[in-house]
Structures are given as structure tokens and as C-alpha cells.
Chain A
Amino acid sequence: MPSDLAIRPHAGPAAARCRPPIAHALGQNAGLILAAVILLLCIAGFAAMFWLQQQRLPGNFEITSTVNNTMPLALAAVGQSIVVLTRGIDLSVGGVIDLTNALAAIWLTGSVLHMAGVSVLIVLIGAVAGLFNGLLVGLGRLQPIVVTLATLSIFQGLAIRVLPQPGGAVPPGYTDVLVNPNQPTALVFLVIAVAGWMALRRSRLGVGIFAIGNDESSAVALGVNAMRTKIAAYMIGGALYALAGLFLAANATAGDATTGDGYTLSSIVAVVLGGVNLFGGRGSAVGAICGAFITTMIVNILFFSHINPLYQSFYEGLFLVIAVVFGALIGRLVRGRR
């Protein structure tokens, strides 16, 4: 009786077998790498455009404002990517941002301690909004797209109720902590977000998120609690959207109950640009962050190209299509599959 299976009796692509680890790492993170490359190209393009117009490279001010403007989308995209990885989708992003932004505008006053407490509370409210989604999707076994489309309207309605007119005043101190207008210190939060993602990736929950995104029934057979995992994913998403709402409030130093509406679609765009598979199970929140910055850079480039702002969404959409087609081609090339 042989105790060894030393030979490879199967015909097939030998390339998949004896490849060095680095080749696997590259192939399996093609989406992320591609997103990073596109981001670098966008940054280079922006710098070139800037140079042509201003005869200098983008400086501290440009970097700071880019980072500060992108932070809300980057955070929302991280949340969206976690939900998408479970093979779900969250359309309530805009509603949660609206609601938390409105709450921030009216609650953020007084002492540092008070503001810190309010911030934590608002993030928790975001998580509760996510819990609501998660219960309907995980426990109620309803389709995520329907559930979150409905809750999007609910949260938008609540936001208008909280803050019927744009207003409120966020203290400058709060703004300085989150989105310092003079230095790109907000990058610290980005680093924290990435570190949090890496930890999630290495936790039981993270394994479960990827597992149910791959194949829910297999994951359940392997002992993953699909319901709990989904609920947790939507809750993390909600908390991150709430953080995005806080950053928006800090940036604008005021609140607006409709400010988040565009974030539902742009967070999905960022996730796609970041190489996260919309059918779940594949991708990285780091890619989604890249995707968010790509979106901002495109807007910047269009601005400096003096393109009529009315046509901006046309070009954004065009670029999205090109990026997705390009990404699909590269993906097929790298993995050598049909």
C-alpha cells in the first residue's frame, strides 16, 4: 500500500502547482495590487497636471485637503467592503452618514469629555443601524439589497427629523483633531483603520466573513455561524459609516442631513475600484481605501483639466468602466483562467 502520493497523476495546468510563494501572493492579491497601481498612476497624473498649471508639485496644502476630503469615503468604503465580502451589499451607507452627521451637528458642543462621549455614542448609533440591517439580513434571511434600500430611506428620514435644515456648529477643536486643516494628521486614522482591518483579517470573525462570502453552505458546514457573522459585518459597517459622518461634520464644521446621500454609490464604486469582488469572498479593505483615493484623485484631475463640472459624473463613470474592464483583463491574465 503506498503511503505516499508522490506523483502528480493529473493532467492540467502545471503552473498552479510549483510556483514560488511570491507568485501566489501576487496572483491572489491582483485586485489590491492593481488598485494601488491605478492610485499611483492617478497621483502621478494629478501631479503632472498640477505642475502644468502651477509650475510646482502639490504641497502640504493639497495633500492635507485631499486626505481630509477622502477620509469619509475611505471609512465608508472600508465598511462597505466588509459587508460586500460576506456576499452582501449595503445601500444604507448614505442614510447612516446623514443621520450621524446630523446628530454630530447638534450634539457636538461643550467640554472635550462631552464631545468624546458624544462621538462614541454616535459611532454606537451607527453600529445599531448596522445591527438593524444585520438582523434583517442574517436572522430574517432577507436579501441585503432590499433590506438596505429600505433602511436607507428610514435613516434618511430620521436624519431630516433630527436636522431639518443644514446647520449646527462643530467646535474648531474637534475639527483639528479629526481633520487638521494644516497637516495631513488624518492619515493616522487611516493607519488605524488599516491596522484594524489586518486584525479583523486574522480573527475568527474575519475568517467567517471570508468563508460565508465564498460559499455560505460550506462555511456553515465548517462551523461558521453565518447569522452572527453577517450581523457583525453590518454592525462594523454601520460604525464605520458613523465615523464617516463625524469626519464629514468635522470637515464642514456643520451638519447637513443630506450630505451623505452620494456615499452609497461612491462607496460601492470605491470597493469595485479597490478590487473587492462584488460576489463576496475576495478582496481587501485596503483596496477599498485605495479605491476611495482613486475616486478623489479623478475628481482632482478633472478639476485641474478645467472640465465643466456638469460633465464630471460622465467622466467619473467612464473612468470606472475603463478601470473595471482593465481590472478584469489583468485578473484573467494573472490567474491564467478562462
Chain B
Amino acid sequence: MTEAALRGMDASASPPDQATAVAAIKVSKSFGGVRALRTASFAARAGEVHALVGENGAGKSTLIKLLGGRLPPDSGTIERAGQPLRLAGPADAAAHGIGTVFQELTLLPWLTVAENLLIGREPRSGLGLIRRARLAPQAEAMLAGLGIHHIDPRALAADISLAERQIIEIVRVLIRQPRVLLLDEPTSSLVEREVEWLFARIRELAAQGSAVVFTSHRWKEIASIAGRITIFRNGAEVGTFTGIDEAEAITLMTGQHVATLYPARAPIPSGASPALELTDASVNGGARISLALAAGEILGVGGLAGQGHRELFLGLFGAPPLRHGSIRIGGKPARIASPADAIHASLGIALVPEDRKSEGLLLPLPVRDNLTLPILSHLSRLGVIRGAVERRMSREMIQRLGIRTPSAAQPVGALSGGNQQKVLVGRWLLAESRILLLYDVTRGVDIATKHEIYELMMRLAAEGKAILFYSSDTEELAQLCHRVLVLRDGRIAAELTPPALTAEAIVAAALHDADSDNAAIRGATGDDAARGAAGDNEARDAVHDEATRGAVGGNITARGADGGGTMRGAGGDSVAMRGARTRGTHAE
């Protein structure tokens, strides 16, 4: 369907409704030179679940911040139940019945879960003093009332997992029974089971007449819960729709027809020399692993979380170095004791980490400085940086990678996540790295940018770069890699090559010993009622955590082959999920 035809389906043109709970009318917002929102409008009705969809940087989060009172609009108005509002802050918004779970978590790390949950509404004594002894029991009761028993209210927020923090963040808003609930990517760190829990709460709230607005990059979630879908592109709404499918949504989000998400693999040049050889290294205690990566090859590393991937990737980058084992680069023995060694031109190893904010980019500095940081010594003459050369090189890289930024002088922190990721890749291309270690680089990145990153990977491999690639999205590994090594307990449990290389096979190899763990989880819960229904969930959760987050969580999985050139979502169960289910049944 063409975009014009899709636009015709715009549901916002339907008869004006009386029960608009919250609306943004022609709002604009700029950060520095970047216009995040350009006279965008949005409205959510009481009692509906309304999804906000768009690429990273389309303006969804900014809109949520305006509606939630976190930021004031530069122009335009926010209305609540038809009344214009000037929100002084999130607390003010809460007083108007608007509760928001922002994308950046706002838990205070060194306070307990209970203190965080009850902040501003603590139990008080007659003298007006907070009854600290009552905080934990009260929080415990609150959590239990929402079906949460596994989070200790006495623990510090810093000591609970990311998913648990996300849940606490959601609970803190839920307990206020908001009339408007805004959720910005609430599910990105949650596993299936927790997503189901959240959706049950959302449905309850909507049934009571609250408006729920949420954003997600997972189409399956959107399809399962949203009534209406508003699509954003370039800081303004494209339209509001009901009953569109994934391919239509992507066409509207990107404004271009995406034929296939995963580009075809280029063959590894025959006789390619091994770029990286690792022998008998230990990443996770006892076992030793060896691997060889050829120039032009994309070698995937898969498996459950915490099986040594991180140690392997950081180890190859010298941060900290691997214990035991030997490394050969381009056939010659190499010693990598620090990132400086790895980066050095003689080795040419680059690491693109998942957490680009804390492990890679200097956010307040311009794109240009971030790009040229490792090669400044080459760019300098007598210690002075040759500005013209630096500017030309960074301009070329911005063009080559299609980094969307108004200029090379823009602080990296103002770019969207996908573009920040490209800056990191660009940095290492400028440094002429020959071996790229890509660690979960597509995490939290929207579908269109993912596609761009995939194409970039293919291009780099075709140019002869050797790529070691870890992803928590199993489908991604299966579709992009020439070969995948599955890690389990710090050793290589399986090596998969096409045609045996499927998401299902990766999950099966990753899971092989996990059955005993499942039994332990079941034993610990003893929840008979939940067991039947959740039988497959348990096995799934075990895999699901990190390892198959993408594939199971409903990330859009599409293959050029089965859609005859059109983008097609995997819809119901992905292969990986069926694989996990099978195992779950075994475990019963």
C-alpha cells in the first residue's frame, strides 16, 4: 500500500470525540539547533490504550516529556480534559492526574525501594514526621497488591536489577491511579512475563477509564495492546491509525518502502587470512575457548546472558585483558594489555559497546571530536591539530555513514541513539581499525536504524573488515552472521553455520543445560495456579532474559525470502520462541 493510501486511513479524522483525556496541540520543542517537535499534535481519549510509534529521534520521547510536565513546550499547548495546562513539573502533572514513566529511570539509587516508592507520600506520625519503620511494610503491601513478590522493598534501588527498577518505576506511577498514564518504552528492559504483567495493569487502568499512552519498538506489543496508533516522523505526527499492520507502519515511520530488514550476506573472500586468532583463553572461570575470525567475516557470538560474552569482548579490547591464552592478529602474536594496545594501528581492534553513553562517547563534545579522538596524534603537526584536515575527515565520515546531525559541531549527546552508535562506528573507521568488536550495538535502536546498521556491517565486511558480533537478538545473529559461536558457561557450546544457522538452533544450543535451572525456578515459586498457564513461560524466561530478548519479545523479524520483496512481520510466534516452548514442555 502506498503511503498516500495509508494516510487515507487516518483515524484521527473520525468524528470528534467528547472524552479527550490529554492532548498536545501544535507543540514545538527544540534542543540547541535540533528541532525535536515541529508543530506536532496528539490526543488520547479516556479509556483507550494509544501507542506512539516512530523511529528514534522522531519526537516520541519529547512529546511524552511535554505531556508529563518534564519539559515546557516552546510553543503550542498541552490540554487535559479540554482545559489548557501550564505544567510546572511532573509533580504538577501528577496533581492533574497525569502519571509518567519516563524513559530515563528516576529512581534514587541510594534510597531503598520502599523510600523510592513512597517518596512524597510517606506514612507520617502525629507530629508530621515520617514513620520510617512503616515504609518497608507499606511498600511490601503495595507491591503485593500489584502482584509483585520478588522485589525486596528494603533493598537499595542501586542493588536491584534493571528490570526490577523499571517495574518499581511503573509501580510508583500506578499506585497513584493516574487518569492519564504515559509510558515511554516501559518494556525495553522487561522480559515477556513482566510485559504481560504490565499489560494486564494497563488493561485494568484503561477499563477504569484512564487514557494510556505508550511507546515501544516491538510491534508485537503494540499490536497486542494498542487500540489506536499514532505514528511520528521527523518531529511531527504522520497520522493516527487503527488496525494497520507492521509493514504499513514501517512505511509510514520511515517514509520509504523498506524491502527487507536483513541485507544479504556477502560471501567471505576465499582464502581470506585469519584476522584474529584466539587460543585457549578463559573468559568465565575454568573452561578455555579458541576462535578464529577471518577478514571479511561476520562471526556471531550468541548464548544466554552472563555466559562470558562481555568478558570475551572486553578482553579482546584489553579492558581488562583476558586471562590465559594467546592472541594472534593477522597471523602474528599480539599482546593486548590495555585498550591503547588494542586501538594501536599495528593491531587495529575497535570495540563498539552496548552502553555507548558510559563506555564510548563523550556526550557534551561535538560529533567531530568524538570521531577523531583516537587519531588526533596523526592529525596533529607539532602537537597542534590540523583543523582543516580534521573537519574534512569528519565531514566525509558523517556523509559516508549517513549520520543525521545538523553539523559536525553538534554535541553527540543531542543526537538520537542510532546516530550516536554510528558516530562510534565512524570513529573506528577513521582509525582504520581492521577488527571490529560489535557488542549488542542494536539494543534499543529503532527498526529503520537497525536496518542501516545491518547494511553498514555488510558493507564493512565486504571491504574486508573482520567483525565479531554479539547480539541479544538471536534472529539478528542468525540472519547476519556467516558463523555463530554459542557460549555457555564460558566455553563454546556449539558452532553453527548455514543452513544449520537458525535462531532456533542458537536458542537450543544456548539452552541445553538450562533445564535444571528451570526446575529450580519452579520449585522456588510453588505457585500452582500460575504454573499451568506459565509452563512455557518459565523455560522461555530463562532463555529469554537477554539472550533472545529481541526474537521472543516480538521484535520485528522479517526475511526477504518469505515476503516476496515486501516487509513481513513474523506475527505470532517466532521460530526462536517455538524452540524455547518445546524445551519448556520437556522440562515439565
Contacts and interface: CB of A to CB of B under 8 A. Distances in A.
Q: Do A and B come from one complex?
A: yes
A1 B197 CA distance: 7
Interface string B127-152: 01111100010000000000111111
B193 A211 contact: no
A262 B481 CA distance: 65
A215 B90 contact: no
A214 to B, nearest CB: 4
A202 interface: yes
Given A203-B129, A211-B108, 16 more contacts: A1-B199, A2-B534, A4-B527, A4-B530, A5-B147, A5-B193, A6-B149, A6-B150, A8-B521, A9-B191, A16-B160, A19-B152, A24-B155, A215-B108, A217-B106, A282-B110
A54 interface: no
B192 to A, nearest CB: 8
B75 interface: no
Contact of A211 (B119, B163, B197): B119
Nearest to A283: B110
A207 B196 CA distance: 34
A59 interface: no
Contacts of A12: 161
A217 B167 CA distance: 20
B107 interface: yes
A2 B196 contact: yes
Contact of B525 (A6, A10, A19, A335): A6
29 contacts: A2-B147, A2-B200, A4-B149, A4-B197, A5-B148, A6-B149, A6-B527, A6-B530, A7-B541, A9-B163, A9-B542, A10-B161, A11-B304, A17-B155, A21-B154, A25-B154, A201-B132, A202-B132, A206-B130, A207-B115, A211-B111, A213-B110, A214-B109, A218-B106, A218-B108, A219-B108, A221-B90, A222-B90, A282-B110
Interface in B66-118: 70, 89-91, 94, 102, 105-112, 115
B515 interface: no
Contact of A210 (B111, B131, B524): B111
B100 to A, nearest CB: 8
A313 interface: no
B564 interface: no
A2 B201 CA distance: 10
Contact of A2 (B94, B111, B122, B193): B193
B341 interface: no
B194 A5 contact: yes
Interface of A: 1-13, 16-19, 21, 24-25, 28, 199, 201-203, 206-207, 210-211, 213-215, 217-223, 277, 281-282, 335, 337
Residue with the greatest number of chain B CB neighbours at <10 A, chosen from A3, A7, A12, A218: A7
A221 B106 contact: yes
Nearest to A4: B147
A199 B538 CA distance: 47
The A interface is mostly helix, strand or loop, or mixed, namely loop
B168 to A, nearest CB: 12
Contacts of B561: none
A213 B115 CA distance: 14
B382 interface: no
A256 B156 CA distance: 46
B545 interface: yes
A210 B110 CA distance: 9
B483 interface: no
Contacts of A203: 128-130
Contact of A8 (B147, B150, B155, B199): B150
Interface residues of B, number: 62
A89 to B, nearest CB: 18
Contacts of B159: 13, 16, 335, 337
* 7 nearest A-B pairs in the assembled complex, by CB-CB distance: A223-B91, A214-B108, A218-B106, A9-B541, A202-B129, A4-B147, A202-B130
Nearest to A1: B200
Contact of A207 (B107, B130, B199): B130
Contact of A221 (B102, B148, B197): B102
A8 B151 CA distance: 9
A28 B306 contact: no
Contacts of B109: 214-215, 281
B120 interface: yes
Contact of A220 (B89, B129, B136, B527): B89
A223 B197 contact: no
A223 B152 contact: no
Contacts of A207: 115, 119-120, 122, 130
A16 B193 contact: no
Contacts of B304: 11
Nearest to B106: A218
Contacts of A16: 152, 155, 159-160
A28 B108 contact: no
Contact of B167 (A5, A214, A220, A337): A5
A281 B108 contact: yes
A43 to B, nearest CB: 29
A5 B119 contact: no
B544 interface: yes
B4 interface: no
Contacts of B167: 5
Contacts of A17: 150-152, 155
B203 interface: yes
A215 to B, nearest CB: 6
Nearest to A222: B119
Contact of B111 (A24, A202, A214, A277): A214
